[in-house]
Amino acid sequence: MKISKIFKRFSADKWGPLLALAILFVISAFASPYFLKTRNLLNILRQVSYTGIIGLGMTFVIITGGIDLSVGSMTALVGGISILVLNALGGGAWAIFVAIVVAIAVGAAFGAANGLIITKGKVAPFIVTLGTMAIFRSLTLYISGAGEFRSQSDLFPQLGMGYFLGIPIPVWIFIGLAVLFWLILNHTKYGRYMCAIGSNERVAKYAAIKIDKIRFFAYVIIGITVAVTAVLLSSRLNSISSSNAGQNYELDAIAAVIIGGTSMSGGSGSIIGTVIGAIILGIVNNMLNMLGVSPYLQGTVKGLVIIGAVLIQRKNNK
């Protein structure tokens, strides 16, 4: 391979998302005098942490050649269940701990259900998660009577609204999970096997890699990340809406992953890129709000960004 091609690929794959973030940051700083305010920057980081955490799990799923459209509806259902458990146990510190454990267990179980149908039932991930997306939202609406799940705890909001060293707790959790996922992807057999499966499933099979097992756990992992987001979101609001909670989270998570350089066809991905992609989306949303652009157009911008990122990937891979 020629040096020029190596440099081009290195620049596009490794530095493209970071360069885009830097350019967007500079433009935003000039576009609004309020952008660089500490409060605004922390607010952006807090907002992106919710979908960013899900994006970390989505990175694993997409690397293996899959997709999960159910994460938004799953967020609402898991958040609602955690609040029901919290209220049933009195809302104290112990109740919060149990509610978190239950949420993670339920999220993992929902992810496992998706994984089992995909791996054992041999059904396309798009179809399976499209179906469970409808199921999870329907169950959330039924359990709540199409209303809200409201927490009766005075301690619970401290988790989602609290700060540590001047930075919101959700941001710290996002950073911690990003480090953990980076280590798994880049320094474990599981990470290497994921990339092998996404690159060439047949070769991976000949290499005695347990394809179904690797894919199954990818969906369990994303279920756990959804549970973490569900707890943080419900604790921030001290309630969760059955109809609106988690809405479009699947779009934001997928967009963050794709913007970050992970190939939609699977086989390669970057956790750091996903973090950068989530921040880019957060800044875009923030600037649209500051400039008075209708919130109904934000979906248009995200859709264009996803299409553009995929087109750039295809061009770089030629």
Per-residue pLDDT at 84: 94
Q: How many CB atoms lie within 10 A of CB 287?
A: 18
- Please answer whether residues 245 and 141 qualify as being in contact, where contact means their C-beta atoms are separated by less than 8 angstroms: no
More confident residue, 218 or 265: 218
Separation in Å, CA 224 to CA 108, 186, 246, 267, 288: 5, 20, 15, 22, 31
The residues, any chain, with a CB within 8 Å of residue 57's CB and separated by 6 or more, are 68, 71, 181, 218, 221, 222, 223, 224, 225, 226
Domain span including residue 247: 38-317
Whether residue 107 is predicted with pLDDT greater than 60 in this model: the reply is yes
What is the C-alpha separation between 258 and 305, in angstroms, rounded? 9
Span 191-210, average pLDDT: 89
Return the exposure string of 72-85: e unless at least 16 CB atoms fall within 10 Å of the residue's CB, then b.
bbbbbbbbbbbbbb
Strands of the chain, DSSP E: 148-150, 163-164, 167-168, 239-241
CATH of residue 152: 1.10.3470
Flag whether 19 is in a domain.
Answer: no
pTM for this predicted structure: 0.90
Does the residue 12 lie in any domain?
no
Q: How much is the mean pLDDT over the chain? A: 88
Cβ atoms of 252 and 239 within 8 Å: the answer is no
pLDDT for the residue numbered 13:
56
Look at 279 and 7; give whichever has higher pLDDT: 279
- Residues 51 and 42: their CA atoms lie apart, in Å, by 15
Q: Note the pLDDT of residue 1.
A: 45
Q: What is the pLDDT of residues 120-155, one digit of tens each?
A: 999 999 999 999 999 999 999 999 988 899 988 889
Q: Cα(234)–Cα(150) distance, rounded to whole angstroms?
A: 9
Contact 151, 88 (CB under 8 A): no
What local confidence, expressed as pLDDT, does residue 193 receive? 93
213-235 burial code (b ≥16 CB/10 A, e <16): ebbbbbbbbbbbbbbbbbbbbbb
Looking at residue 313, its pLDDT comes to 64
pLDDT tens-digit series, residues 153-186: 889 998 888 898 989 999 999 999 999 999 999 9
In angstroms, the CA 234 to CA 241 distance is: 9
Q: What is the pLDDT of residues 21-64, one digit of tens each?
A: 888 888 888 887 888 888 989 999 999 999 999 999 999 999 99
Q: Is the pLDDT of residue 311 over 60?
A: yes
169 within a domain of the structure (yes/no): yes
Indicate whether 3 pLDDT > 80. Answer: no
Is 3 part of a structural domain of the chain?
no
Domain count, the chain: 1
N residues, the chain: 318
Please give the pLDDT value at position 6: 44
Asked, for residue 186, whether it belongs to a domain, the answer is: yes
Alpha-carbon span 177 to 97, nearest angstrom: 19
Which of 74, 244, 237 is closest to 156 using CA atoms?
Answer: 237
